[in-house]
Structure 1
Amino acid sequence: MIWLTWRQFRTQAAVIFAAVAALAAALAVTGPQLSDLYRTAGSSLVDQVSRADQTLYYTGLLVVLAVPAVIGMFWGAPLISRELETGTHYLAWNQGVTRTRWLATKLGFGAAASMTAAGLTSLAVSWWSSPIDRAINGGGATDTYFPRLDPVAFAARGVAPMSHAVFAFVLGVTLGLVIRRTLPAMATTFALYAAVQIAVPMWVRSHLAAADRTTVPIEPGGGPISVQDGARQLVAHPEDVPGAWVTAQQTLDGAGRPAPVPSSFADCLRTESGPPALQQVEGCLADLGALGYRQQVTYQPAGNFWALQWAETGLYLGLALALTGFCAWWIRRRVT
């Protein structure tokens, strides 16, 4: 049964692992030079990375983010839907193989391969990017690169991509089992996996570890403050928490209570034509600070990276296990 599963699976696996090997080779050639540069430049490394290494940095991010989605679409969705579509599952079940064993072999083999592919990709990219990540955590500029806790970079670092890949694979198998048509199952797998990958950073991840808070004064030189939404919203960019992931912001009034930005601030910024000058903005911020207004920032500190990684890994593996149980129930009760 394992041999047959491998025969059906080997072409898709060869394509993915060949791509992973090519990326790993490119990273292995340029990685040592980047590490040497970090040892001499420290946190200023982010200003000295070459254009070619910038391209490789973003390529690595995209590849790690794409691997689980590709696995779900091209490994998971066709794995059983193809057999249900052609009717070959009847032949397998008449060869002394129960449907439960048939399903367990396919899921186990595919999940192991998925975890291996995603793990190797994440390991290579995390190793290559580690000098940049350390420079950012040391206070380097983040205009060009993402801190490890940023929602984009987080899913391409550490152990989380392995759980993402297993979940995507089992999700694809589940949808293929239910839909019983390969192409619709592939399209639905991509859509649902993308939806989950958007929903988790937006509404779940920030609650998987205890957050910290800091208060930024609203005054010129008190901290970077930007004005958004027509002067109805202030956004602080605290410099004393490098590498952090800001999850929420709230303006506080002079009594320390959450409050909207007063209308007097918008009136102060209003000009007859064009945006206000920098000096005018700083003067208006100074007036707002004189009234006691401050900006409260809720954030996940850089030190919470591994706590969040392991918590999210457990979350996705739990979802994959639940889908596995559903597949076992469905194939015994609903597949004829």
Structure 2
Amino acid sequence: MSAMTGTGSASYDPAAAEAGRGRGRGRDRGRGLRLSGMNWLVWRQHRAAYWTLLAAAAVTVAVLVHQRQQMITYLDGYGYPHLTSGWEDKFDQQPLNAAAGLLGLLPVVIGVLLGPPLLAGDLESGTAKLVNAQSVSRVRWLVTKLGMTALVVVVCATAVSAAFTWWWSPVKSTSYVLTWAEAGGFDNSGPVPVALTLLTVFGGVAIGMLLRRTLLAMVVTLGFAVALQVVWSYVRTSLGNVVTVTSHNGVGENTQPSLPDNAYVLDEAYLTASGDLIGWGSCAEATEKAREACLDKAQVVGWSVDYIPFSQMASMQWLGASILLALTAGIAAFVILWGRKRLV
């Protein structure tokens, strides 16, 4: 049983559930919408986890908003929003970089603590058998659990992502603080953190359902979450359309092709007279004279640079989030179909 989710057979007392429905109906008449029935039951069972997540999100948002105001106070001295040169000299990057590093861990932490106990706790304690003996179908029970958990996760992740994006936005167009195509910026802004967190949580739910042991499922979910982050780090840059530019002015100083502001460079290579590419390290000779001889022998005439422009960031994030959400929907469908016949 997970202390965080409050799993236990007492939570599924049919009399308590009916009383909850009655209270909900009575209050609905005088005070508006209230949870009742299965919704009330699921919230009651996992209220500790849900409230903890909501409270942590509220505190995080407050901290991010405060840090944003601190940054704006500094940037105002340099003419924000039209920043003048020199603002980077005394700009403190540490708060934004530290926040990006910590927020990048949240999908893993939330997935491990919230996902596995959702079903594994009920299966381990025998609560699922009690639910199965009631009039409510397994599908409705599973859908309610997944739906309410997804709602809480989406609300919290969206709020934190919006606050971080707002904080970062004044300096987002420069790579001085965070590189937009790397984890610190890309995975903590826009829709990506919401999709990553949902996929990790639902993956944990499926693992807990299959293993039926909460602690074991949490350990396996940790491995799943780390593996997901590693795979995602390779997928991230493949979401963009790579642009290649070349130059034919040699390879001395100021000979590389010009790139758009804040472009993310994927690869650089020497361009030969025949149009072939060779690695820029292939002529890393000990002396300048030897390097020049190597370049002449290879008939190097310029550079070839592969990059992704900053303008593609939003489309890359939505494409990546769509893929992650599609995987999440697939896992949710698997949990419902499997649980419909084999849960108990």
**TM interval, short-chain normalised:** 0.7 to 0.9
The equivalences for 1:34-113 within 5 A come to 34-36=71-73, 37=75, 38-39=80-81, 41-42=83-84, 44-50=86-92, 54-113=93-152
Q: Following TM superposition, by how much is the alpha carbon of 1:185 offset from its aligned partner in structure 2, in angstroms?
A: 1.2
Q: Secondary structure of 1:156's partner?
A: coil
Aligned residue among 225, 234, 254 for 2:273: 254
Contact 2:269 2:280 in 1 (8 A): no
Contact 1:71 1:165 in 2 (8 A): yes
Contact 1:150 1:245 in 2 (8 A): no
Aligned residue among 153, 177, 181 for 2:213: 181
Q: Following TM superposition, by how much is the alpha carbon of 1:167 offset from its aligned partner in structure 2, in angstroms?
A: 0.9
Aligned residue among 275, 284, 302 for 1:294: 302
Aligned residue among 148, 153, 168 for 2:185: 153
Measure, in 2, the Cα distance between the counterparts of 1:105 and 1:218.
64
Contact 2:117 2:205 in 1 (8 A): yes
The equivalences for 1:211-250 within 5 A come to 211-215=242-246, 219-222=251-254, 240-250=259-269
Measure, in 2, the Cα distance between the counterparts of 1:181 and 1:27.
37
Contact 1:149 1:244 in 2 (8 A): no
* Structure 2 partner of 1:3: 40
Amino acid at match of 1:322: G
CA distance 1:35–1:13, change in 2 (3 Å): same
Cα deviation, 1:260-315, whole Å, max 9, x if unaligned, reads: 5696x34xx23xxxxx6xxx39x836962793243322221100011101101100
Between stretches 245-254 and 115-124, larger displacement belongs to: 245-254
Aligned residue among 106, 116, 132 for 2:171: 132
Q: Secondary structure of 1:41's partner?
A: coil
Measure, in 2, the Cα distance between the counterparts of 1:312 and 1:253.
36
Residue 28 in 1 paired to residue 28 in 2? no
Amino acid at match of 2:260: V
Measure, in 1, the Cα distance between the counterparts of 2:133 and 2:119.
16
* Structure 1 partner of 2:313: 305
Amino acid at match of 2:220: T
Q: Following TM superposition, by how much is the alpha carbon of 1:22 offset from its aligned partner in structure 2, in angstroms?
A: 2.2
Q: Following TM superposition, by how much is the alpha carbon of 1:45 offset from its aligned partner in structure 2, in angstroms?
A: 3.2
Measure, in 2, the Cα distance between the counterparts of 1:90 and 1:170.
22
* Structure 2 partner of 1:207: 238
CA RMSD of aligned residues (A): 2.6
How many pairs align? 300
CA distance 1:4–1:286, change in 2 (3 Å): farther
Cα deviation, 1:199-223, whole Å, max 9, x if unaligned, reads: 1231x33333322112256522135
Contact 1:81 1:177 in 2 (8 A): yes
Contact 2:181 2:313 in 1 (8 A): yes
Q: Following TM superposition, by how much is the alpha carbon of 1:70 offset from its aligned partner in structure 2, in angstroms?
A: 1.8
Greater Cα radius of gyration, structure 1 or 2: 2
Q: Secondary structure of 2:278's partner?
A: coil
Amino acid at match of 1:258: L
Measure, in 1, the Cα distance between the counterparts of 2:148 and 2:172.
34
Measure, in 2, the Cα distance between the counterparts of 1:185 and 1:25.
33
TM-score, normalised with respect to structure 1: 0.80
CA distance 1:45–1:116, change in 2 (3 Å): farther
Q: Following TM superposition, by how much is the alpha carbon of 1:88 offset from its aligned partner in structure 2, in angstroms?
A: 0.4
Q: Secondary structure of 2:329's partner?
A: helix
CA distance 1:94–1:289, change in 2 (3 Å): farther
* % same residue: 29
Amino acid at match of 1:210: N
Between stretches 15-24 and 307-316, larger displacement belongs to: 15-24
Contact 1:170 1:323 in 2 (8 A): yes
Measure, in 2, the Cα distance between the counterparts of 1:289 and 1:26.
57
Cα deviation, 1:139-159, whole Å, max 9, x if unaligned, reads: xx63xx222222332001111
Amino acid at match of 1:104: V
Q: Secondary structure of 2:266's partner?
A: strand
Residue 114 in 1 paired to residue 153 in 2? yes
TM-score, normalised with respect to structure 2: 0.78
* Structure 2 partner of 1:273: none
CA distance 1:78–1:185, change in 2 (3 Å): same
The equivalences for 1:243-282 within 5 A come to 243-260=262-279, 265-266=283-284, 269-270=285-286, 280=288
CA distance 1:296–1:2, change in 2 (3 Å): same
Name structure 2 gaps, 5 residues minimum. Answer: 1-37
